[in-house]
Amino acid sequence: MAQEYHNNCSLCGRNSEVFKYMDKDELKKIDSHRVSIRYKPGEIIFKQGTPCYNFICITQGLVKLYIEHQRNRNLIIGLMRPVNYIYEPGFFVDKHHHFTALAAEETTACLIDINVMKELFFSNQAFSYDFIQRISRQALGLFDRISSCTHKHVFGKVADTLLYLHPKIYPENPFYLSLCRQDLADLSGITKESVIRVLKKFQEEGIISINGDQIEIFDRERLEVISDKG
């Protein structure tokens, strides 16, 4: 983990959209209570159960958010690309993290003192409303993933995962995965063996192509049908 410092949030080309609601004085205050950190792939940004001290804005890379369970079974609740905050509901409840965030690629993030951000919630209504909308959308996305993992069969679950990865996480097609097969299993709520079996079946049917870490989706409509049928 390496620290990097930037002089001014208003001059940074990696600002989150929520900053558009802040004036120069508010941005200056954030600058004085902020540090930029670089994380290596596989490095934990914060761990489930630990106290929340900072709001975290991802400015580069890919972050994996997951709920830790016993027996090393995790549920990935989402992946995050820049530029975006990690919307942790524990900030407003018990000041603890309720999931773990891990750098899936080389990642940089800005850590901002939680107390400074709380002051902005009370003083800047436009910022507060936008932030609430964003954390609500994150919660709705989590509900969708839990519903998929709970009610769908393995083919529907893997179809959902592929539709989530492209184009939301990987805009290009084909795309190179920075995730392992176990990550795909944790995203789908099934075992790694089941993921490998379903991906092989999709490839045999000409829906996708797999070449090492490269995946190409040939028939998105077919994946959508499989997802809908569950």
| pLDDT per residue as tens digits for the range 19-31 | 788 888 988 888 8
For residue 2, pLDDT over 70 is answered with no
Q: What confidence category does residue 5 fall into, taking pLDDT thresholds of 50, 70 and 90? A: very low
pLDDT confidence tier of residue 230, bands split at 50, 70 and 90: confident
Could you tell me if 27 and 10 are in contact, meaning their C-beta atoms sit under 8 angstroms apart? yes
User: Model confidence at 3, in pLDDT bands (50, 70, 90)?
Assistant: low
The pLDDT of residue 4 is above 60: no
Q: What is the mean pLDDT of residues 39-59?
A: 94
Structural domain spans, the chain: 2-148, 152-229
Spell out where the chain has E strands: 2-4, 34-39, 44-46, 54-60, 63-68, 74-80, 84-85, 100-103, 107-113, 175-176, 208-211, 214-217
Q: State the pLDDT confidence band at 11, using cuts at 50, 70 and 90.
A: low
Which among 109, 100, 92 has a CA at the least distance from the CA of 76? 100
What are the tens digits of pLDDT across the range 191-223? Answer: 999 999 999 999 999 999 999 999 999 999 999
CA–CA distances in Å: residue 128 to residues 88, 123, 144, 170: 14, 9, 25, 29
**Helix residue spans in 91-124 (DSSP H):** 114-123
Mean pLDDT of the chain: 88
The pLDDT of residue 132 is 85
Two structure tokens written together for 127: 């910022």
Second CATH level (architecture) for the domain 152-229:
Orthogonal Bundle (1.10)
Mean pLDDT of 172-181: 95
Whether the per-residue pLDDT at 121 is higher than 60: the answer is yes
Rounded Cα distance, 218 and 216, in Å: 6
Instruction: Give CA–CA dist 111/70, Å, rounded.
Output: 29
- Distance between CA atoms of residues 14 and 225, nearest Å: 37
Q: How much of the chain, in percent, has pLDDT values that exceed 70? A: 92
Tell me: pLDDT of 133 over 70. Answer: yes
Model pTM?
0.88
Torsion of CA 18, 80, 43, 157, to 10 degrees: 160
Q: Which CATH architecture has domain 2-148?
A: Sandwich (2.60)
Q: Which of 105, 109, 120, 80 is nearest to 176 (CA)?
A: 105
Whose CA is closest to 186, among 145, 220, 215? 145
